[in-house]
Chain A
Amino acid sequence: MKKKCIAWDLDDTLWDGVCLEGEVRLRPEALKALEELDRRGVLHCIASRGDEQVALRTLRSFDLDHLFVAHRINWSPKPANIRSIATELGLPVEAFVFIDDDPFEREQVEWVHPQIGTVDATEVSTLSSMPSLRPEFLTPEGARRRELYLEEASRCRAGGAFATPRAFLEGCNMRLTVRSMQEGDIPRVLELMTRTHQLNTSGRIFDREQVVEEQDDIWVASLSDRFGDYGIVGVAVVDRKVRFRLTYLAVSCRVMGRGVVQALLATLLETARRDGFMAAEALVRTTETNRAMRVLYQMSGFRRAEELQDGTLLYQAAAETFPTAPSWLEVCS
């Protein structure tokens, strides 16, 4: 099947960095592929997570917005976004190639759309030599790529064998490790705290000194799955002096859609229960982007108890209503 449209992820694919978090750098090899394929009549569109307005502004600043015929920039799963673009453009989903740096996103798109082609962002320069994107003639290199295509097709068929969403998640062999922060984690913890907005219960920005000072209260969660190791994806600060109070919880948006936040919360609360706490408290500082965290607490048995003087919301939950981690995540703590 000839491919007619490339669906691009933006952050760490089209450009290096995350545009919601500051300056990004256009990847020259991505630009090259973009322009070369455009010359051949291949369409480009965007299927990316993030804030639509910020992303479009960034695209315009690179003067690239005119190269894309459609976009879905939101927090919905990418398979749905790609299908929606396909409908909009009147193309079959099989005519798409999806490029993204995240193996989970690619695999999920393949699972839902077994006929789609996916490309790792690090391979962007191979796009223009893909046989399905090169209609005029076949080179020896192109012939080899066709083999890769066939292999990929069979891998996609294997992906399509998952019968249910839960079976797909279970098949990912996700393992979440929750432990106390160590000295060596500090740079990553600071980075995560600065970069995470959507899944962050507080707008609080820690500096290195504060992290060192609160070292004993800080927990980190790292994730791995069959695609690889994501390193530390979550940070929590727990004050256990008088009562069990979760003052900070942040999880990287990269691992959204896998129940990681629920699992981290459940694991921390399990330590509370083990240590004899009959209830837990959690603080949420409402920001423009963190409604998902209020949703999380509300759906996890927490109820808003009061609003503190500085506007911070205090949530409480009794031990009987503590949530459990999703079954597809193996938790080690």
Chain B
Amino acid sequence: MACALLFGKAMPRDKTLPLPPLEEIHATLRGYIEERYLPPGSDFTFEDDEDLFEAGLLDSAGLLSYLTFVEAEYGLSIPDEDLLPEYFGSVSASAGYVLRRHGEHTLRAVG
């Protein structure tokens, strides 16, 4: 029992499923940040295009955890040159990035 608890891990999303709609990606990414960086029942809300650094939600180490989550959740590997504020500065930016990367992948697979 102790061992199962000690090594128990959440199941990652099934990568063979199609990418969820954009709103759902937004909700997932928001949920990740809210769960980790906000008190439960907090009145604080942030916009999907809110600057996550300015808001004090992420710093470079926090962003690293966030990137690792995005990579695992959507089966992506994010190259250094894509680490830009315009891709990861906000929830909507990163959702757009996921969608675009997934599109490229699908096109390649089809082509």
For residue A185, give the distance in angstroms from its CB to the closest CB of chain B: 24
Is A240 an interface position by the 8 A CB rule? no
Let me know if B83 and A199 touch, CB within 8 A: no
Let me know if A199 and B80 touch, CB within 8 A: no
B window 51-84: CB within 8 A of A: 53-57, 59-65, 67, 80-81, 83-84
Let me know if A69 and B6 touch, CB within 8 A: yes
Is B43 an interface position by the 8 A CB rule? yes
Q: With A169-B56, A199-B61 given, is the CB distance from A80 to B44 under 8 Å? A: no
Q: Point out the residue from A293, A295, A326 that lies within 8 Å of B67, measured CB to CB.
A: A295
Is A160 an interface position by the 8 A CB rule? yes
Q: Mark interface residues in A246-263 (1 if CB within 8 Å of B CB, else 0).
A: 000000010011111110
Let me know if A113 and B39 touch, CB within 8 A: yes
Tell me which of B39, B44, B54, B55 has the highest count of chain A C-beta atoms within 10 A of its own C-beta.
B39
Contacts of B103 in A (CB 8 A): none
In the complex the two chains form, what is the Cα distance from A327 to B54 in whole Å? Answer: 8
Is A26 an interface position by the 8 A CB rule? no
Across the interface, name the chain B residue whose C-beta is closest to A163.
B44
Let me know if B57 and A304 touch, CB within 8 A: no
Contacts of B88 in A (CB 8 A): 299
Contacts of A114 in B (CB 8 A): 39
| Interface residue tally on A, bucketed by range | 35 or more
Let me know if B61 and A88 touch, CB within 8 A: no
Let me know if B60 and A163 touch, CB within 8 A: no
Contacts of A77 in B (CB 8 A): 36-37, 62
Tell me which of B39, B55, B56, B60 has the highest count of chain A C-beta atoms within 10 A of its own C-beta.
B60
Across the interface, name the chain B residue whose C-beta is closest to A315.
B80
Let me know if B38 and A112 touch, CB within 8 A: yes
Across the interface, name the chain A residue whose C-beta is closest to B10.
A84
Let me know if A76 and B67 touch, CB within 8 A: no
Contacts of B62 in A (CB 8 A): 77, 257
Is B8 an interface position by the 8 A CB rule? yes
| Interface residue tally on B, bucketed by range | 20 to 34
Is A241 an interface position by the 8 A CB rule? no
Contacts of B44 in A (CB 8 A): 163-165
Tell me which of B2, B44, B59, B65 has the highest count of chain A C-beta atoms within 10 A of its own C-beta.
B59
Is A39 an interface position by the 8 A CB rule? no
In the complex the two chains form, what is the Cα distance from A304 to B84 in whole Å? Answer: 12
In the complex the two chains form, what is the Cα distance from A292 to B53 in whole Å? Answer: 15
Let me know if B65 and A75 touch, CB within 8 A: yes
Is B107 an interface position by the 8 A CB rule? no
Q: Point out the residue from A74, A76, A168, A292 that lies within 8 Å of B60, measured CB to CB.
A: A292
Is A104 an interface position by the 8 A CB rule? no
Is A71 an interface position by the 8 A CB rule? yes
Q: Point out the residue from B39, B64, B81, B85 that lies within 8 Å of A75, measured CB to CB.
A: B64
Contacts of A66 in B (CB 8 A): 2
Across the interface, name the chain B residue whose C-beta is closest to A286.
B80
Let me know if A259 and B59 touch, CB within 8 A: yes
Let me know if A292 and B64 touch, CB within 8 A: yes
Contacts of B38 in A (CB 8 A): 112, 165
Let me know if A291 and B56 touch, CB within 8 A: no
Q: List 10 A-B contacts (CB under 8 A).
A: A68-B6, A75-B61, A112-B38, A164-B56, A165-B37, A165-B44, A169-B56, A256-B61, A261-B60, A299-B85
Known: A257-B59, A326-B53. 13 other contacts (CB 8 A): A71-B6, A74-B65, A75-B61, A76-B36, A88-B8, A112-B39, A113-B39, A165-B44, A198-B61, A256-B59, A259-B53, A262-B59, A296-B60
Residues of A within 8 A of B (CB): 65-66, 68-71, 74-77, 79-80, 83, 88-89, 111-114, 160, 163-170, 198-199, 253, 256-262, 291-296, 298-299, 303-304, 326-328
The 4 closest A-B pairs by CB, nearest first: A166-B56, A298-B83, A80-B36, A296-B60
